Amino acid sequence: MIGILDYGMGNLRSVQKAIAYLGGSAAVTADEDTLDGCEKLILPGVGSFGAGIKELNDKGLAAYVKRRAAGGTPLLGICLGMQFLLEESEEEGLFSGLGLVKGRVVPFTEGKIPHMGWNAVTDMRGQLFKGIPSGTQFYFVHSYYADTTQAFTLGKTEYYRTFASAVGKDNVFGVQFHPEKSGAAGLQLLRNFLAL
């Protein structure tokens, strides 16, 4: 069972449908007892960092996610959910993140914002990208990006600058793009996560 964390923001049902399409089962919930029965967790997200992290904290899910991640539970953050994994964000002020991956969330200052549409991910590494060739296109919608070090970068994308479009540390993974909207490649990435 996969736990999709429901804190009131995010593409919850589309992620759940993608997991079901792959033959998995997923519970969309904020109930910790239900989440305790899930062997992996997905943290989706759409919207602003400040509003989202407030909801996570108010529902007790921020502390819950950190505790499960520290215990070795595989965790996948998607889009805003990936940004939550970092230490802090500059979106609409300065907000603390979950601090599971070193780095900060900073705004694009060039090009059309948001960065929206299909773009290539290169320099992929790790189990999340098994069977996915470098340069594969994924679907993005975001105005902020992860500023982190090479050590925590699992994939890179070019949009007026090179940024980390996938991050991770140990059992914690995050992707800036939407795998649930990225066709066969996105499904393969989710399949890889299920297989961890």
| Catalytic residue of the set 79, 91, 115, 142 | 79
Q: Is 79 a catalytic residue?
A: yes
Enter the pTM of the model. 0.97
The two structure tokens encoding residue 122: 């290169």
Has 180 been annotated as catalytic? Answer: yes
Q: Two tokens at 31? A: 């109930």
In sequence order, the 6+-apart residues with CB closer than 8 A to the CB of 52 are 7, 9, 45, 80, 84
For the chain, list the domains and their CATH numbers: 2-195 (3.40.50.880)
Q: Please identify which residue in the block is written with the tokens 């601090």.
A: 99
Query: Helix, strand or coil for residue 96?
Result: strand
CA–CA distance, 183 with 116 (Å, rounded to integer): 16
Catalytic residue among 38, 55, 115, 180: 180
CA gap 188, 179 in Å, rounded: 9
pLDDT digits (tens, 9 = 90+) for 27-45: 999 999 999 999 999 999 9
DSSP 122: B
> Is 55 marked active-site?
no
Q: Within 13 Å of residue 130, how many CA atoms lie on the same side as its CB?
A: 10
Say yes or no to pLDDT of 49 above 80.
yes
Task: Give per-residue pLDDT as tens, 108-126.
Answer: 999 999 999 999 999 999 9
